[in-house]
Structure 1
Amino acid sequence: MLDALTLGQIRTFVAIAEAGSFRAGAARLLRAQSAVSHAIATLEAQLGLTLFDRSGHRPTLTPEGCVLLEDARAILLKVDFMRARARGFGEGLELELPLVVDTLFPLPLAAAALRELSQELPAVRVRLSVAPLGAPLAALQERACKLAITVGGDFRDPRIELETLMSLRFVAVVAASHPLGQRAGEREAVRSAELAEHLQIVLEDPSPLSEGRDFGVLSPRTWRVSGQDTKLAFILGGVGWGRLPLWAVERDLAEGRLVRVPATALGEQGETTVLAYLAHRIDDPLGPAARALRENLLRHAGARGR
């Protein structure tokens, strides 16, 4: 009987489990509730077990249903990946290529890859957005872009494949005129308690993916800003301290406008290394332009990392 299982039944099972009710699952699938109920009843009969406990106001997964839900999701991911790959074989050149880049990623490197794309495929328009934290991944989840570059591994989604591009060095910095800047000049480790006495400039996530979470925040006093340029301007202006990618502050450090903060809680001498990833959905095929840009980015990032 297991050979009689259909993808429609499996999709119905997952939709109801995720939506929380047969009615909501039916609405998600654009099917009648009676058809959805029949599909689940048939699936349970074929499996020889009960997937949902229907005794309450809302159906809840049985212990067996919870286990099989993971299997069902895995099956659908594989099927969607196969379909996407098949569609990609015959897909024509994109008219437009949407790309979202993490604000922490070096834009000159992205520009070099995009310049080559423009030379190779001049008819393709590129729509580029730069956004922090969870926004690149959220854009992929919402199908607002084909490719995204994200920094750090804090956000994951089984529908999205991540390919390592390069490692990025992050440093804690402050204006030379700031009290912490003068303290940093003594070349002694700065403790967390001392950092907590000063305002920290922090990037704000426009997506809901980091709701209730902070990354590298050590001070109870924070100002939230929407972009890296604003964060750098505030730090240069002596408003507070913060962490920034080394590529963005090398010149300011070399010319003495900024100094490093040797904060022991943020790595040796206040420096940490974070990976940058190229991301795309496994169920959405990359067209010729997206594949070309992917190759360009991997090549340029690899050359930069050597």
Structure 2
Amino acid sequence: MSYSPITLDALQALDAIDRRGSFAKAAEELEKATSALSYTVQKLEEQLGVTLFQRQGRRSVLTPSGRLLLEEGRKILVATTYLADQVKELATGWEPRLRLGLESTTEREPFFQALGTLLEEQPNLEIDIQECVLNGGWEALETDSIDLLMGATSPIPLQKGFRALPIPPADMLLVAAASHPLAPKANDAQTVARQLPYHRRVVTHDTAKHNVMRNAGLTTGTQALYVQTMEQKVQAQLAGLGVGHLPRKLIQGHLDSGALVKLTTDEPTTEILDRFIAWKISNKGKALKRLTQLLSDALW
């Protein structure tokens, strides 16, 4: 086998410099001397016969050759990290890391309480949380981007090897801000139904990237304001920028204070959203099993 000058240390150096923007900051992150980091990059450039970085003001920016090397090299770094995690899990049965998908409609308090209990029991466990919307959560689970999906919405994809545990459904209310033009007519079902299509709706993007994206709980209308997270949707509606369905448990305080009002129409404006805790059947890690138990206890 021929010798390759591309080492894990060199790839980690490139990654850190690219993320931090300078050799000095990257050296600080990696707990190395700046001169040592510079030597690693210089040696790699000499052995490959290419220039990897160029200066732009105070920043060190990758050249096209450097960008190609880093993009492919990051795949190697991810693979070696995964391998190390697998070895540790095989030895102890406890995963060193859990990647969690939090469906946007999920109430945060019981989720983080359960997570807090797990971290008290396993203080060295690393947690990575991302917010998911609609099909995006199922896609993340299918592609192994997450280990567990909290608050997954129906329908459950078939023949994907998923295990889904039901949790209490979410009440989704059609609401508007107290300052919104529809607010004074909130209880006039006929007027609201007639005027609703002419008002902007606030929509949370489905986070799916490859599978078919879908929408849920949207009111008809000619205008839409798209946001990335449920928190953004709540804030947009509080600002009177549009109407839309929001989870009752996430906005109960705003309903009680009068900042948001429930809109009434001839059609039901409260939707019941079935939800689940979901994971792959093949995932048998102890941390995932324990968190699933804690979440189930907290929600029921």
Q: What is the DSSP-based 3-state SS (H/G/I as helix, E as strand, rest coil) of the residue aligned with 1:168?
A: strand
Q: Which residue of 2 aligns with 1:293?
A: 291
Q: Which residue of 1 aligns with 2:29?
A: none
**Deviations 1:213-252 (CA, angstroms, capped at 9, x unpaired):** 4322222321111111111111111111010000111111
Deviation at 1:123, TM superposition (A): 2.1
Please say if residues 100 and 145 of structure 1, whose CA atoms lie closer than 8 Å, have aligned partners that are also in contact: yes
**Deviations 1:231-281 (CA, angstroms, capped at 9, x unpaired):** 11111111110100001111111111110011333x2xx212112200111
Deviation at 1:211, TM superposition (A): 3.5
Please say if residues 151 and 167 of structure 2, whose CA atoms lie closer than 8 Å, have aligned partners that are also in contact: no
Q: Structure 1 length as normaliser, TM-score?
A: 0.64
**Deviations 1:8-52 (CA, angstroms, capped at 9, x unpaired):** xxxxxxxxxxxxxxxxxxxxxxxxxxxxxxxxxxxxxxxxxxxxx
Residues 1:195 and 2:193 aligned together = no
Counterpart mapping for 1:1-306 below 5 A: 92-159=93-160, 160-184=162-186, 186-189=187-190, 192-208=193-209, 211=212, 213-217=214-218, 218-265=220-267, 267=268, 270-282=269-281, 284-302=282-300
Q: What is the DSSP-based 3-state SS (H/G/I as helix, E as strand, rest coil) of the residue aligned with 1:264?
A: coil
Deviation at 1:90, TM superposition (A): 8.2
Q: What is the DSSP-based 3-state SS (H/G/I as helix, E as strand, rest coil) of the residue aligned with 2:189?
A: coil
Distance 2:213 2:278 in 1: 24
Name the aligned partner's letter for residue 271 of structure 1. T
Q: What is the DSSP-based 3-state SS (H/G/I as helix, E as strand, rest coil) of the residue aligned with 1:140?
A: helix
Query: Relative to 1, partners in 2 of residues 1:208 and 1:192: Cα closer, same or farther, differing over 3 Å?
Result: farther
Distance 1:230 1:190 in 2: 28
Please say if residues 168 and 275 of structure 1, whose CA atoms lie closer than 8 Å, have aligned partners that are also in contact: yes
Deviation at 1:212, TM superposition (A): 6.1
Deviation at 1:195, TM superposition (A): 1.1
Distance 1:238 1:271 in 2: 20
Name the aligned partner's letter for residue 221 of structure 1. Q
Distance 1:177 1:166 in 2: 32
Name the aligned partner's letter for residue 180 of structure 1. L
Distance 2:131 2:184 in 1: 33
When the two structures are aligned, how many residues end up with a matched partner? Answer: 210
Q: Structure 2 length as normaliser, TM-score?
A: 0.65
Query: Relative to 1, partners in 2 of residues 1:105 and 1:239: Cα closer, same or farther, differing over 3 Å?
Result: same
Deviation at 1:91, TM superposition (A): 6.3
Please say if residues 100 and 136 of structure 1, whose CA atoms lie closer than 8 Å, have aligned partners that are also in contact: yes
Query: Relative to 1, partners in 2 of residues 1:275 and 1:212: Cα closer, same or farther, differing over 3 Å?
Result: closer
Distance 2:176 2:131 in 1: 24
Distance 2:178 2:211 in 1: 32
Distance 1:300 1:134 in 2: 25
Distance 1:112 1:250 in 2: 19
**Deviations 1:167-210 (CA, angstroms, capped at 9, x unpaired):** 111101101111111111x4435554421011000111121477
Distance 1:92 1:226 in 2: 36
Unaligned 5+ runs, structure 2: 1-88
Distance 2:283 2:159 in 1: 16
Distance 2:155 2:253 in 1: 29
Distance 1:193 1:279 in 2: 40
Q: Which residue of 2 aligns with 1:54?
A: none
